[in-house]
Structure formats: structure tokens, C-alpha cells
């Protein structure tokens, strides 16, 4: 079936087969964060439209035995593709997790065909095409966690000019997922969301003008001063990248509390 990714990339994906289990059970690929792109290489039958990606991005004609590479594709496109191919094969997905309120185990069921997605914005598409970072401004003390397109917009909204930082952001590419997985292994008690955000920051200009480009320096700054700006830049880059809405509301059957739950891409997702 042909699927259109949030960025406009169009590919024909086949249903999963029993023979795919060997790949799915490859623990090394799972541990490295490479299972999904490698599985998609096997599932992709035809490239219909490359969207914002170049032949170099997709390594067309460079890789034997596969139609295209998913390594340089935005993670939002990759996760959308794997969800759609899984849904074509078997629409129902069920998993269990504890309620955040009463800690009872909830059984959650979702039809993948009902998942909502948002398109990549024109600015996001231009970024994927050219590689030029997306730029936003955010206030370190801004409790509203709002990203602004220009410093002037932030000042006009009432932010102190000496409190505004500039962020040059990249949409997460699939090739960086092994880096994210490595960070998770090496810092199991760290803030995983923050660490992933920092991998997407190409450059951070502090309010005093100091420029940070090193991951560790950016992470240190964000851990100390970046609670509000992390939310702001996450909102900014998520808006432009589009993709599946990764969480939805579920009501616990024990305490009847509503909470957001995230679509799992763990073992339960690959059980057919």
C-alpha cells in the first residue's frame, strides 16, 4: 500500500511476513535503535515520491537489495511509516502499563488506523531539503514556555531582552536514534526527553551572547537553566516536524483517572 509521510515522502510498503521475525528478534538491532529503519528497508517496495529528500539522502541506487535507506529520513516520517505498515498487517495494538495515579495495571488497546498525524510545515520541509536549521527564541524565565520567531517578537510579548536565548534546531533524523539509545543506556537516570532535545540543538546562543555548539555544554546549560526553554523548543520543533501524535488520552478502569499514554515502540509493537 502507498503511504504519504508527514513530509510528503511517498512510499509503497508491504505487509509484514513471518520471515521478518528473524530481523525483529535481532537483539543487537533493538539495542542499538536500528530495528525500525532496517525493518523498513525490507518493507519498502517502491519509492513513489521522494518529497523533500534528495537521492543522496535516500541513497537511491547505492545500497544493494533495498529500494531506499531510511537513515536520513526524519524520525517523524520513519515512525509514521512503521506504524502504518504495522497497521496494514494488523490494525489492533494492545499493551499494559501501570496507571500513574493508582499504579494498577491498565490494559490499553488502540487501532493504528485511528492515529492522528500532522503534516510537516513548509518551514520544516525547507529545513529537510536544505539542512538549514530552524531558529527560535525563548525566555529562560518564561513560565508560558512559548517559542518566538524573532527576538523582537519575544520582547514585544513582554520578555526581558537579557533573558532570551536563541536556538538553532534540527528535526531529528533517523540516523541519530542510535545516539539517543546510547544516551539512554549510559544515563539511565537522566532526563531522556531533555537529552534527546539537546541532540537536536545545533547551536544555542545564551542571553549574554555566548555560543554553545557542543552537546555536553548545551546539556549542562539546559539542566541548569532550561526547564522553560526545553518545553518551548520542543513545541517549536514538534510543530514544524509534524508526524504522529505520540500520545492519547486513556481512562484507568480502576480509579477512572484520565491520563495521556504514549504509543509504545517496544516489543509489544512488534508482536503479531
For residues 15-42, average pLDDT: 92
- Read off the pTM: 0.91
Helices 192-199 and 215-225 pack at an angle, to 10 degrees, of 130
Structure confidence by residue, pLDDT tens digits, 63-73? 566 789 999 99
Strand partners, 158: none
Question: Which pLDDT score, from 0 to 100, does residue 62 have?
Answer: 60
Structure confidence by residue, pLDDT tens digits, 192-212? 888 899 999 999 999 999 999
Structure confidence by residue, pLDDT tens digits, 10-27? 999 999 999 999 999 998
Closest by CA position to 124, among listed 74, 195, 179, 71: 74
Closest by CA position to 80, among listed 123, 116, 28, 109: 116
Question: Which pLDDT score, from 0 to 100, does residue 64 have?
Answer: 61
> Pairing relation of β-strands 117-118 and 134-139?
unpaired
Decide: 46 and 58 in contact? Cβ < 8 Å. Answer: no
For residues 181-201, average pLDDT: 85
Structure confidence by residue, pLDDT tens digits, 93-141? 999 999 999 999 999 999 999 999 999 999 999 999 999 999 999 999 8
Question: Which pLDDT score, from 0 to 100, does residue 266 have?
Answer: 81
Structure confidence by residue, pLDDT tens digits, 48-62? 999 999 999 998 766
**Residue 272: is its pLDDT beyond 70?**
no
Amino acid at each position: 500500500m502507498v503511504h504519504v509521510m508527514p513530509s510528503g515522502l511517498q512510499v509503497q510498503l508491504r505487509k509484514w511476513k513471518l520471515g521478518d521475525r528473524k530481523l525483529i528478534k535481532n537483539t543487537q538491532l533493538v539495542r542499538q535503535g536500528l530495528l525500525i529503519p532496517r525493518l523498513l528497508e525490507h518493507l519498502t517496495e517502491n519509492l513513489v515520491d521522494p518529497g523533500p529528500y534528495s537521492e543522496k539522502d535516500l541513497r537511491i541506487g547505492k545500497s544493494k537489495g533495498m529500494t531506499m535507506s531510511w537513515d536520513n529520513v526524519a524520525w517523524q516520517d520513519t515512525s509514521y511509516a512503521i506504524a502504518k505498515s504495522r497497521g496494514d498487517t494488523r490494525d489492533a495494538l494492545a499493551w499494559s502499563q501501570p496507571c500513574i495515579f493508582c499504579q494498577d495495571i491498565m490494559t490499553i488497546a488502540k487501532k493504528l488506523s485511528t492515529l492522528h498525524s500532522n503534516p510537516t510545515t513548509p518551514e520544516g520541509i525547507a529545513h529537510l531539503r536544505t539542512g538549514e536549521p530552524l531558529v527560535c527564541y525563548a525566555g529562560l524565565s518564561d513560565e508560558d514556555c512559548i517559542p518566538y520567531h524573532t527576538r523582537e517578537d519575544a520582547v514585544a510579548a513582554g520578555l526581558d531582552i537579557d533573558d532570551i536565548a536563541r536556538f538553532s534546531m534540527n528535526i531529528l533524523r533517523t540516523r541519530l536514534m542510535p545516539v539517543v539509545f546510547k544516551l539512554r543506556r549510559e544515563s539511565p537516570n537522566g532526563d531522556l526527553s531533555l537529552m534527546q532535545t539537546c541532540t537536536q540543538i545545533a547551536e544555542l546562543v545564551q542571553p549574554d551572547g555566548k555560543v554553545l555548539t557542543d552537546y555536553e555544554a548545551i546539556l549542562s546549560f539546559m539542566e541548569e537553566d532550561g526547564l522553560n526553554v526545553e518545553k518551548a523548543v520542543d513545541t517549536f520543533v514538534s510543530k514544524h516536524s509534524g508526524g504522529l501524535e505520540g500520545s492519547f488520552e486513556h481512562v484507568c478502569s480502576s480509579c477512572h483517572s484520565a491520563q495521556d499514554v504514549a504509543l509504545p515502540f517496544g516489543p509489544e509493537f512488534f508482536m503479531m
